[in-house]
Amino acid sequence: QKAEWAKLVNEQTTTKDGQHVELAANIGTPKDLEGVINNGAEGIGLYRTEFLYMGRTELPSEEEQFEAYKEVVERMEGKPVVIRTLDIGGDKELPYLDLPKEMNPFLGFRAIRLCLEEKEIFRTQLRALLRASAFGNLKVMFPMIATLDEFRQGKAMLLEEKDKLVANGVSVSDSIEIGMMVEIPSTAVAADLFAKEVDFFSIGTNDLIQYTMAADRMNERVSYLYQPYHPAILRLVKMVVDAAHKEGKWAGMCGEMAGDEVAIPLLLGLGLDEFSMSATSILPARNQMLTLSKEELAAFANEMIYLDTADEVEKRVRETYLK
């Protein structure tokens, strides 16, 4: 089977009915690039920049960040690279920021919430991203957006830093797409409002599932509620994809669900444009997609969202597409 997959490294991902789907990789550091390239990713769908900030005693400088982002876009040779701004808090702590302990860290002061307040930390990262954008196909994505106002503030800060750099003669790409993660139910439910202003969505199911089911993603006792195939989750995905397409935007997914063989037929059917996953899942996913017809799956997925339970959905997918 491995040999079969290896043949697909330099192929694009095309479904049985000839539709192109983008298969991208999630990375945490430039060190992950080798695996990404060896596994034939068509881009980076999620670069988790928080690892640049972790395991150290002070913030990374603009220069250090610039070098890391530049290396990633350069080595991807013009393929799309979605870089997520700092997503700290929740399960990821930064001791040197000395933030007060919270009762519910996953519902607390994290990610974009922290960045919009700690403006210098955020602006430093934005400048590093803007400077790196001149070296490849860089897209910026904000994590944990809950309201349109947060997205607007983040985008305004990015554009302000861009204007300042340009005024100082620094090269910056003028076609940077600015998107957001959909990982808070409010943004999925109101995706039509966000779709008018973003360039793309990337659905973060790791968090979207925990917030939709109100089940901590780290807590074993409630892990039975962590149900990617629950019709509620599938309906949210559908709302996001449909809203994006209505505005001519694209919708991807960078949560674990995107690389899961049971989820893939459902997500193709719901019309997802981009699937971002760990590098080792790319070739099996591409191999699976070659055998699936997107048109046929559209009817199937739209039936699945009306089943009663996640188990029934899983059973139907397995019977029909994973024999």
Instruction: Please give the positions annotated as active site.
Output: 254
Report the site for ligand PEP in 82-101 (rule: CB under 6 A): 87
Contact 117, 128 (CB under 8 A): no
Specify the DSSP class assigned to residue 57.
Answer: S
Of 207, 260, 273, 274, which lies in the binding site for ligand PEP, with binding defined by CB under 6 A? 207
| 219 half-sphere exposure, CB direction, 13 A CA radius | 10
Measured CA to CA, the distance from residue 225 to residue 83 in angstroms comes to: 30
Q: Which stretch binds ligand PEP (CB under 6 A): 3-11, 203-211, 242-250, 299-307?
A: 203-211
Site string for ligand PEP, 156-185 (x = CB under 6 A): ---------------------------x--
Answer for which of 206, 278, 287, 293 binds ligand PEP (CB under 6 A) is 206
Smaller CB distance to Mg ion: residue 92 or 245? 92
Tell me which DSSP letter residue 304 carries: H
Q: Give min distance, CB of 206 to ligand PEP, in A.
A: 3
Q: Which stretch binds ligand PEP (CB under 6 A): 16-24, 101-109, 201-209, 311-319?
A: 201-209
Residue with tokens 């995107």: 258
Q: Say whether 84 counts as a known binding-site residue.
A: yes
Q: How far apart are CA 116 and CA 114, in angstroms?
A: 6
Give the Cα separation of 66 and 37 in Å (integer). 21
User: Which of 296, 318, 291 lies closest to 4 in space, CA to CA?
Assistant: 291
204 lies in the binding site for ligand PEP (CB under 6 A): yes
User: What whole-number distance in Å separates Cα of residue 308 and Cα of residue 216?
Assistant: 23
Interface of this chain with ligand PEP, residues 26 to 65, rule: CB under 6 A: 46, 48
Minimum distance from CB of 73 to ligand PEP (Å)? Answer: 20
Q: Does 205 help bind ligand PEP (rule: CB under 6 A)?
A: yes
| 285 closest CA partner among 295, 274, 301, 271 | 274
CB of 23 to ligand PEP, least distance (A): 16
**Looking at residue 9, what DSSP letter applies?**
T
Residues 204-233 interacting with Mg ion (rule: CB under 5 A): 204, 207
Burial class of 177 by CB neighbour count within 10 A (0 to 12, 13 to 18, 19+): middle
Residue nearest to Mg ion (CB): 207
Residue 10 counted as an annotated binding residue? no
Binding residues (CB under 5 A) for Mg ion: these are 183, 204, 207
Binding residues (CB under 6 A) for ligand PEP: these are 46, 48, 87, 183, 204-207, 254-255
